[in-house]
Amino acid sequence: MKQEELILERWELALARIKEIPDESICGEAYRDYFSQMAEFVLLMDEAYELAESGELRRMGMEALQAHNHALYEDILPAHYGESYANPAFAENRLGESIGKCLSFLYTELRAMIPAAYETKLASMTVRAELLLEVYQFFVCAAQEQGEPDAEGLRQILYWYVSDYYETEFEEKMLSLLDADRDFARRIIMDSDLSDLRYLYWFGEYITENELKTAAHLNEMPEDKIKLMADTYTEGYRIGFEVTNKDISIKETTEIRYFLGFEQVIKQAVLNFDRIGLQSTFCRAGVNIFQGRNVNKNGYCGANPNKQYDYDHREDMALFLDGALAERKIEAVRNVFERHKELAALYGGPAVVESFGEEPFVPENKKETCRLNEKQQKLSVFTAGKAADIQNEYIKGEERSFTIIAFPVPQIGPRYEEIFDDVVRINTLDYMLYRDIQQKIIDVLDQGVTVLVKGMKENETDIKVQLHRLEEPQTQTNFENCVADVNIPVGEVFTSPRLTGTEGVLHIPRVFLNELEYRNLRLVFQDGFVTDYSCGNFGEEEENRKYIRENVFHHHERLPLGEFAIGTNTTAFAAARKYGIEDKLPILIAEKTGPHFALGDTCYSHEEDVKSFNPDGKEIVAKENEVSVLRDTDVSKAYFQCHTDITIPYDELGELSVLTDSGEKFVIIQNGQFVLPGCEELNRALV
């Protein structure tokens, strides 16, 4: 029997049994409603699969598509989430602490059937349907023995599901990343009539007015403006290889990450990449335990139906993670990359279109959510490090590049069209103007050994950053002159600072990092490492520390200062103030609106030996710090697999100056204005 026939037979057998569940009363009264709802959801998934497989999905009218899309996501929308089994608090209240956590997780895994149904991946749907049946039978047996189901027995079923299918699921993710023949999203983008907005519902993602209005807005734009946006994006990618002396000709694929609604730009970008010999791949953002579930999406995706849902389930791996599973994950990563090493070698890196403008998300911390314990946190850090090291063997850092650009969505406010036009202008600012001004800043910085940064008004920052000593200042520089290539828009100079001697306090009254709000974020540095940290989000200090440790530190015990930069894009800062959208800017733009400090790895992670030069011909030599240099002796201690930028806005900046070895002081910014001679043009936007 062929594999496809075997999967179909398994699916039909599972489906027939699942159809019987809502009419049965043999699993224990407390759990009947849960299993009935899960069965109904699987039947809805079968309906979605049939619509996609038969082609009926493409023939449905707009109203029918919208109704079906709403039905897929209705249960986790904020209006219904309070009484959804996907909500750990509700599940635990109804089903008990241990059982509730496990069954809430099971529901989230069943919800991963949505993209599988639209992509007609019956194998993925089948293993989840069979998991539901195995768990259901476990509860039936307990009821027949007139006892309560054993929570540990339930956890073991789920544990072995994760262990058994980790390699298969990881391989699916990697192939969508590396293999251009996995072209589900590309075919929709390139073959659809983009003026007929029904196409947005063919991806299987949640669709809101944001996506519809974005697509409609781009449909109304003149062709030359769409081309300008796409060209800026793809040229940034190409130039990224050029300025870092990497050979783009040895690459054949680039991965496009974007938010639905921007297909007009993406279609032109695909054509642009085709012309330079790169096929575009599209990897969907993670929706299951294997890919990781997070508020900050990494891949192509639609609207987030409920960020609290993703936040609640971001650490579901706490149900299972132990040493054996960690080793299994590392083994799976190695096996998959070894099987597909030829494809991995041809992968050029991601080209990312971010969107921004949604209402800021302030999460609720729930005691019922899964949280990694201390041992699991260390295992998680260890596993992520090993997986990253393996990936870098096959997708070499010194050979790949990337680019990122961002655009607003309609939810940003009633002046959306104006804001969009201003962002396009910001993304296409004069390359040469910024290059020359930033070189003046670098020339002064390269004379110094210490940078002083002090806040003003409510900002209590007082920190000194140590710079590397230049052995040959005539041919070397500490700072990269970052214009518009991998990091669009223009507007920053950055370095990897020395850790020893870097000390003080970084304080931001209000900042958004990876879509999460932090109030009164305070970080204390000593010899380049954060030694203490706090924020004011929650009433209890321990909850605040956990919030930072989980979402900024990513469970590391401590993090170094991997980057120090001075943003110069005063035009972006002024636009944000003009429209009152400071709290909605993505890091990509926000980091250009003042000095910023990045926790974690340097900007040159895994690329330290790649020679790169500024436009003036000087070699950028500050690529290492006292941690990353350990890659030569123990790579497991050299990297953190995270890099989080924290920006001080100009209007909170009292002083930014550099001290030379002799004690001479050059002031670059004072009271929110650039005062260094030659930088006057930057202040025009601040008036």
Cβ neighbourhood burial of 633 (10 Å; 0-12, 13-18, 19+)? exposed
Q: Looking at residue 586, what is its pLDDT?
A: 86
> For residue 103, what pLDDT is reported?
98
Residues 487-494: what's their mean pLDDT? 90
Q: Where are the alpha helices (DSSP H) in 525-579?
A: 541-551, 570-579
Q: State yes or no: pLDDT of 486 exceeds 80.
A: no
Peptide bond into 595 cis (omega under 30): no
Distance (Å, whole) CA 561 – CA 357: 29
Length of the chain counted residue by residue: 687
Q: CA 3, 8, 9 angle in degrees (round to 5)?
A: 100
Cα separation of 566 and 249, whole Å?
33
Q: Amino acid identity, residue 568?
A: T
The helix/strand count (H/E) of the chain reads as 24, 19
Share of the chain above pLDDT 70, in %: 100
pLDDT at 484: 65
273-324 pLDDT, tens digit each: 999 999 999 999 999 999 877 777 889 999 999 999 999 999 999 999 999 9
CA dist., res. 186 & res. 76, Å (int) = 28
Looking up tokens 């279109």 gives 353
> What residue has token string 């509700």?
90
Sign of the CA dihedral running 393, 397, 400, 406: positive
* pLDDT value for 359: 84
Indicate the domain borders of the chain.
3-149, 186-394, 430-686
For residue 248, give the DSSP letter: G
Residues 6+ apart with CB under 8 A from 190: 267, 270
Report the distance separating Cα 272 and Cα 190, nearest Å.
Answer: 13
Query: Which tokens in the block code for residue 139?
Result: 């509860």
Residue among 195, 201, 191, 189 nearest 64 (CA) = 201
pLDDT-based confidence at residue 75 (cuts at 50, 70, 90): very high
Separation CA 166–CA 242 (nearest Å)? 37
Q: Which amino acid is at 252?
A: E
Q: What is the tens place of the pLDDT at every residue in 554-566? A: 889 899 999 999 9
Entry pTM? 0.90
Is the Cβ–Cβ distance between 620 and 480 less than 8 Å? yes
Q: Distance (Å, rounded) from C-alpha 320 to C-alpha 263?
A: 39
**CA 426 from centre of chain:** 23
Place 520 in a pLDDT band, splitting at 50, 70 and 90.
very high
DSSP 119-187: TT-HHHHHHHHHHHHHHHHHHHHHHHTTSPPPHHHHHHHHHHHHHHHHHHHHHHHHHHHH-TT--HHHH
Helix (H, G, I), strand (E, B) or coil at 55: coil
pLDDT attached to residue 635: 82
Query: Which tokens sit at 361?
Result: 């998300």
| Exposed e or buried b per residue across 484-497, where buried means at least 16 C-beta atoms within 10 angstroms of its C-beta | bbbbbbbbbbbbbb
**Residues in Cβ contact with 137 at an 8 Å cutoff, skipping those fewer than 6 apart:** none
Region 116-139: what's the mean pLDDT?
97
Q: What is the mean pLDDT of residues 214-227?
A: 96
Looking at per-residue pLDDT, the higher value among 607 and 268 belongs to 268
**The pLDDT of residue 7 is above 70:** yes
Torsion of CA 385, 391, 397, 399, to 10 degrees: 180
* Distance (Å, whole) CA 181 – CA 261: 23
> Residue 585: its pLDDT value, please?
87
* Geometric angle at alpha carbon 174, from 173 and 175, rounded to 5°: 95
Q: What is the pLDDT of residue 638?
A: 86
Q: In the structure, what pLDDT confidence band is assigned to residue 605 with cuts at 50, 70 and 90?
A: confident
Apex CA 274: angle with CA 271 and CA 275, to 5°?
90
* 333, 390 contact by CB (below 8 A): yes
Taking residues 122-144, report their average pLDDT.
96
Mean pLDDT of 574-601: 90
pLDDT of residue 1: 61
* Longest pairwise C-alpha distance within the chain: 84
Taking residues 106-128, what's their average pLDDT?
97
Tokens of 16: 């027939």
Question: In angstroms, rounded to a whole number, what is the distance separating the alpha carbons of residues 459 and 568?
Answer: 19
At residue 634 the predicted structure's pLDDT band, cuts being 50, 70 and 90, is confident
Residue 611: band (very low, low, confident or very high) from pLDDT cuts 50, 70, 90? confident
Give the Cβ contact number of residue 140 at 10 Å.
18
Question: Parallel, antiparallel, or unpaired: how do β-strands 403-408 and 279-281 relate?
Answer: unpaired
